[in-house]
Structure 1
Amino acid sequence: MLLAVASLMWAGAAAADDDAIADNPLVEIPGGPFVFGNDMGNENERPQHIVEGQAFAMNQTEITNAQYRRFVTATGHRTAFYDRHPALGLADHPVVGVSFADAEAFCAHYGLKLPSEQEYERAARGTQGARFPWGDAPVDAARANYGRDTCCGGDDITAPARSLPQGASKEGLLNLVGNVWEWTRDFYAPYSGEAPPEIGGKYRVLRGGAWNSDPARLSATYRLAYDPDFRFAANGGFRCVRSPD
Structure 2
Amino acid sequence: MLMMVAFDAAAGDIGPIAGNPLIEIPAGRFVFGRDDGPTNERPRRVLEGRPFAINRTEITNRQYGRFVQATGHRPSFYANHPLLGLDDRPVVGVSWRDADAFCRHYGLVLPSEQQYERAARGTRGAAFPWGEAAPDETRANSGSDACCSGDAHDGYPMTAPAQSFLGGASSEGILNLIGNVWEWTRDRYAPYDSEAAAESAVAFRVLRGGSWNSDPSHLTTTYRLAYDPEFRFSANGGFRCVRPVP
Coarse TM-score class (shorter-chain normalised)? over 0.9
Say whether the 8 Å CA contact 1:10–1:172 is kept in structure 2. no
Q: TM-score, normalised by structure 2?
A: 0.94
Give the deviation of 1:38 after TM superposition.
Answer: 1.0
Give the deviation of 1:199 after TM superposition.
Answer: 1.1
Name the CA shift for 1:191/1:10 in 2 (closer, same or farther; >3 Å): farther
In structure 2, the residue matched to 1:228 is: 229
Give me the whole-angstrom Cα distance separating, in 1, the residues matched to 2:135 and 2:36.
Answer: 17
Give the deviation of 1:194 after TM superposition.
Answer: 3.7
In structure 1, the residue matched to 2:106 is: 110
Q: Deviations over 1:47-74 (max 9, x none)?
A: 0010100010000000000000000000
Name the CA shift for 1:196/1:28 in 2 (closer, same or farther; >3 Å): closer
Q: TM-score, normalised by structure 1?
A: 0.95
In structure 2, the residue matched to 1:164 is: 165
In structure 1, the residue matched to 2:154 is: none
Q: Secondary structure, in 3 states, of the residue corresponding to 1:169?
A: coil
Aligned-residue sequence identity (percent) comes to: 65
Say whether the 8 Å CA contact 2:110–2:186 is kept in structure 1. yes
> Structure 2 residue aligned with 1:73, among 47, 59, 69?
69
Q: Deviations over 1:187-210 (max 9, x none)?
A: 001112145653132210000000
> Structure 2 residue aligned with 1:47, among 43, 50, 62?
43
Letter of the structure 2 residue corresponding to residue 101 of structure 1:
R
Q: Deviations over 1:102-155 (max 9, x none)?
A: 000000010000000000000001000100000000111110000011100022
Say whether the 8 Å CA contact 1:208–1:220 is kept in structure 2. yes
In structure 2, the residue matched to 1:85 is: 81
1:243 paired to 2:239: no
In structure 2, the residue matched to 1:32 is: 28
Instruction: Tell me which moved more, 101-110 or 186-195.
Output: 186-195
Instruction: Tell me which moved more, 188-197 or 102-111.
Output: 188-197
Residues 169-184 of structure 1 aligned to structure 2 (within 5 Å): 169-184=170-185
Q: Deviations over 1:17-50 (max 9, x none)?
A: x231000000001110001101111100000010
> Structure 2 residue aligned with 1:95, among 79, 91, 97?
91
Give me the whole-angstrom Cα distance separating, in 2, the residues matched to 1:114 and 1:198.
Answer: 22
> Structure 2 residue aligned with 1:151, among 144, 147, 150?
147
In structure 2, the residue matched to 1:132 is: 128
Letter of the structure 1 residue corresponding to residue 217 of structure 2:
A
Give me the whole-angstrom Cα distance separating, in 1, the residues matched to 2:96 and 2:121.
Answer: 24
1:22 paired to 2:23: no
Letter of the structure 2 residue corresponding to residue 190 of structure 1:
P
Long gaps (5+) in structure 1 = none
> Over aligned residue pairs, what C-alpha RMSD do you find?
1.3
Say whether the 8 Å CA contact 2:190–2:198 is kept in structure 1. no
Give me the whole-angstrom Cα distance separating, in 1, the residues matched to 2:66 and 2:112.
Answer: 25
In the alignment of these two chains, the number of paired residues is 240
Name the CA shift for 1:244/1:204 in 2 (closer, same or farther; >3 Å): farther
Long gaps (5+) in structure 2 = 152-156
Give the deviation of 1:175 after TM superposition.
Answer: 0.3
Letter of the structure 1 residue corresponding to residue 176 of structure 2:
N
Name the CA shift for 1:197/1:31 in 2 (closer, same or farther; >3 Å): closer
Give me the whole-angstrom Cα distance separating, in 1, the residues matched to 2:41 and 2:28.
Answer: 21
Say whether the 8 Å CA contact 1:14–1:25 is kept in structure 2. no
Letter of the structure 2 residue corresponding to residue 45 of structure 1:
E
Name the CA shift for 1:197/1:47 in 2 (closer, same or farther; >3 Å): closer
